Amino acid sequence: MPREASAANYGAVETTTAAQRDERAARNGGQPTLEFGQRVPYDSYVHASTLHTLQRTISGDPGEMSFLVVSQIMELYFKLIRHELAQARDHVRADRPWPALAPLRRAALHLEGLNAAWQTLRWMTPGDFNRFRDLLGEGSGFQSAMYRQVEFALGLRNRALIRPFRGSPAFDELTAAIQEPSLWDEVIRLLARAGHDIDAKSIDRDFQEEHEPDPTVAEAWVHIYRTDGPDNHLRMLGEALTEVADRFGDWRYLHLKAVQRTMGAKTGTGGSNGLAWLQRSMNRTVFPELWIARTDM
């Protein structure tokens, strides 16, 4: 990255070379640098001082900080996962299944981190949550725009779920996201370009609608998995996608269990019927033909 671009993007961050770092270490006698200008370089890059101003609890309950911080951590993971899925989609779109494996594997690992965040809320009983729940008003994780971005990238689509964001910048971003092919749409197109006989209705369709399982796509995956050889990049792609779908399924299950643990079947803060809504959501399968193919093999 050019120094000019670095300064524009990161403020006071100054790039260094390996030689400069070695020279500084020698000058410091191997000790860390302790004197800087107005801002520590780490903070200039990470913006930690800004990040730590965002935990603004609304009650005096000490447990609310856990709830708020974990929610913000999850939002950051959503952004990271969406970033990786976009990278993978772009590689698949350009007929590069091999390079798509790395961002998919990273996405699966990020989902593991996301799922682990639920563990730090296991202390919360219904009584603990109820101490500050009313102060949340109608605020709900259901209203997370970045989570919707992740769902749209995976191919889970419902145009009605954009409506809460009217009047915010997220509305235009979500509208654009639901109108373009998902990662799974691009995978199906890749299979067709690779010579598999895919039904045209799965290739030329309204991307705002959720993809319906297609037997021709499942048949293509059966053929791919039955083809031996270390150069079968499509099979590797299928396994990387399966791992992402599996970890995302874990997220949805852990979300449901967390809700069940802290509020049972009560009405959700966002107006849904809470547990029942989450149970219905779990029935929407990510990359459905990969699972259907496992039955057909």
The model scores a pTM over 0.75: yes
User: Is 267 a domain residue?
Assistant: yes
Q: Do 221 and 131 belong to one domain?
A: yes
Residues whose CB is less than 8 angstroms from the CB of residue 61 and which lie 6 or more positions away in sequence, other chains included: 128, 131, 132
User: Is 61 a domain residue?
Assistant: no
User: Is 178 a domain residue?
Assistant: yes
Q: Do 285 and 147 belong to one domain?
A: yes
User: Is 119 a domain residue?
Assistant: yes
User: Is 35 a domain residue?
Assistant: yes
C-alpha–C-alpha distance, residues 6 and 13, integer Å:
7
User: Is 127 a domain residue?
Assistant: yes
Q: Do 43 and 88 belong to one domain?
A: no
For residues 269 and 141, the answer to whether their CB atoms sit within 8 Å is: no
For residues 287 and 155, the answer to whether their CB atoms sit within 8 Å is: yes
268: left (phi over 0), alpha (psi -120 to 50) or beta: beta
User: Is 64 a domain residue?
Assistant: no
pLDDT digit string, tens, across residues 157-208: 999 989 999 989 999 999 999 999 999 999 999 999 999 999 999 999 999 9
Task: Give the count of domains, the chain.
Answer: 2
* 211 annotated ligand-binding residue: no
Dihedral (CA of 124, 70, 249, 266) sign: positive
Q: Do 85 and 38 belong to one domain?
A: no
Closest CA to 82 of 118, 111, 115: 111
Provide the pLDDT for residue 80. 98
Provide the pLDDT for residue 8. 43
Q: Do 21 and 147 belong to one domain?
A: no
For residues 218 and 207, the answer to whether their CB atoms sit within 8 Å is: no
For residues 111 and 248, the answer to whether their CB atoms sit within 8 Å is: yes
Q: Do 32 and 105 belong to one domain?
A: no
Closest CA to 149 of 118, 180, 116, 106: 180
Q: Do 21 and 137 belong to one domain?
A: no
Provide the pLDDT for residue 272. 60
Q: Do 284 and 141 belong to one domain?
A: yes
User: Is 135 a domain residue?
Assistant: yes
* 227 annotated ligand-binding residue: no
For residues 49 and 12, the answer to whether their CB atoms sit within 8 Å is: no
Domain region containing 34: 3-51
Q: Flag residues of the chain having pLDDT under 70.
A: 1-12, 267-274
Number of H helices, E strands in the chain: 14, 0
Structure tokens of 121? 């809320």
* 16 annotated ligand-binding residue: no
Which CATH number goes with the domain that contains 226?
1.20.58.480
Structure tokens of 241? 């996608």
